[in-house]
């Protein structure tokens, strides 16, 4: 009599995709982002009976605490991370006909900040091993029209800020750091967000810490801080200096309710980032030993806080396509996705057809005397980065067992394709 084969009786080496047992059979450990401590913080505002329109006690306390966390002289709050970056552009006086160098691997929020000022984003190519803009790629894009550099620290991974700042200072260009995905990431022991003239942060609910939405920027420059405060608050002076509106600002104020939640969230940011750092490094160490697996590259002296985890599949060495590898991992219970070849903004219609931008003049501005070419062929680093690119979430709630089972799944899948 032939015994019927079931997943339970199959060899543990058999992929779950082919009927074998899952390497990650248990659900991942989860947890809540918010707590009753935040509810109590908000309740105090209602007991007080007033939600201040601007510069309320919670907003000012958040500014003080966040500046202290980063060792900055000034912190200005905003309604979102996008608003914080836009405020930075406004504080620097970026406007029509100006070019701002940034990365083609970013969120729309980064680009809104440039386009809303009628300025032109100029994309520097990336290092395919970590999607970050290296200093030499930024330097190659500098023209007489360049007015600022907007550096984006992706997925918790620090860019080479000392080298970038050296180039910027030689060219007398201001630098803004977008740290939305990278709370407490460091390079050489120094926190990202403190290298540049301005550092910008997001409190979007998906970030390391969140409050639904919100944003902050930090600086050590008193004039930039004052200009940012005015830009984010209708150019109304709240300090008694008698300043009257003298430029076209925005209304990006953060309200007290959000600020109260943010203050409580700040109490957990060190634990969140430290745990993600530990999980990400453990995963990278394991993947480095597997054929065809290329873990996320972190610069020497870098401290990555892993907003999510990114890696590459070298299809020739892995023995399979990135898509097949991802499908096998998914069947094992690991939430991996194949980013494919459409990870950068260069694929977006707004940059493929520049006539689709009726709300900002940008490259169509009569004051702009340059020409930009966003064709993918001009960005070999982007093309290489998109080849075999994969992503997966990473959480501070995951346990050591979750990580061990995740790594076991990677090993199982790699060995399967190696045997093939």
Residues forming the active site: 207
Tell me if residue 112 falls in helix, strand or coil.
Answer: helix
- Pairing of the two strands 146-152 and 99-102: parallel
- CB-count exposure of residue 392 (10 Å: 0-12, 13-18, 19+): middle
Rounded to an integer, what distance in angstroms lies between the CA atom of residue 26 and that of residue 22? 9
Strand-pair partners of 320:
none
Is residue 112 within 8 A of residue 261, CB to CB? The reply is: no
- The Cα–Cα gap between 377 and 343 comes to 15
Neighbours of 281 (CB within 10 A): 16
Burial class (CB in 10 A: 0-12, 13-18, 19+), 27: exposed
Alpha-carbon dihedral 276, 281, 284, 285, rounded to 10 degrees: -150
What does the alpha-carbon distance between residue 166 and residue 160 come to, in Å, rounded to a whole number? 10
| Contact assessment for residue 86 and residue 252, using Cβ atoms and an 8 Å cutoff | yes
Question: What is the rounded (10 degree) CA torsion for 138, 140, 141, 142?
Answer: 90
How many of the other CB atoms lie within 10 Å of CB of 348?
15
Pair of tokens at residue 54: 């601007």
- Whether 187 and 160 have beta carbons less than 8 Å apart is answered as yes
Q: How many CB atoms lie within 10 A of CB 68?
A: 11
């Amino acid at each position: 009599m032939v015994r019927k084969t079931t997943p339970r009786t199959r060899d543990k080496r058999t992929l779950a995709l082919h009927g074998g047992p899952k390497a990650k059979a248990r659900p991942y450990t989860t947890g809540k982002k918010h707590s009753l401590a935040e509810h109590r913080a908000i309740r105090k505002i209602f007991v007080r009976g007033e939600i201040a329109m601007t510069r309320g006690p919670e907003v000012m306390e958040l500014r003080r605490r966040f500046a202290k966390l980063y060792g900055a002289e000034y912190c200005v709050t905003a309604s979102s991370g996008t608003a914080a970056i836009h405020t930075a552009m406004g504080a620097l006086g970026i406007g029509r006909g100006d070019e701002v160098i940034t990365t083609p691997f970013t969120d729309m929020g980064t680009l809104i900040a440039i386009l809303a000022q009628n300025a032109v984003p100029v994309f520097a190519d990336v290092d395919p091993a970590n999607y970050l803009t290296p200093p030499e790629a930024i330097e190659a894009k500098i023209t007489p029209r360049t007015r600022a550099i907007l550096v984006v620290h992706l997925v918790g991974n620090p860019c080479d800020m000392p080298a970038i700042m050296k180039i910027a200072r030689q060219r007398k260009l201001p630098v803004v750091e977008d740290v939305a995905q990278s709370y407490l990431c460091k390079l050489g022991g120094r926190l990202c967000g403190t290298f540049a003239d301005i550092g910008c942060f997001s409190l979007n609910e998906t970030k390391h810490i969140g409050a639904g939405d919100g944003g902050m920027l930090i600086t050590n420059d008193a004039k930039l801080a004052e200009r940012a405060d005015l830009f984010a608050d209708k150019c109304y002076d709240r300090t008694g200096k008698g300043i009257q509106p003298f430029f076209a600002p925005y209304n990006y104020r953060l309200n007290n309710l959000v600020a109260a939640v943010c203050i409580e969230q700040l109490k957990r940011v060190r634990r969140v980032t430290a745990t993600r750092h530990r999980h990400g490094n453990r995963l990278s160490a394991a993947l480095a030993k597997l054929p065809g697996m290329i873990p996320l590259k972190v610069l020497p002296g870098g401290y990555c806080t892993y907003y999510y985890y990114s890696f590459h599949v070298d299809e020739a060495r892995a023995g399979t396509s990135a898509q097949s590898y991802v499908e096998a991992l998914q069947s094992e219970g690991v939430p991996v996705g194949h980013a494919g070849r459409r990870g950068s903004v260069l694929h977006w219609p707004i940059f493929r057809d520049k006539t689709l931008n009726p709300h900002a003049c940008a490259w169509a501005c009569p004051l702009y005397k340059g020409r930009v070419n966003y064709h993918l062929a001009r960005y070999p680093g982007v093309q290489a980065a998109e080849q075999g690119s994969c992503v997966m979430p990473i959480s501070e709630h995951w346990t050591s067992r979750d990580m061990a089972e995740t790594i076991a799944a990677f090993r199982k899948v790699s060995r399967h394709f190696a045997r093939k």
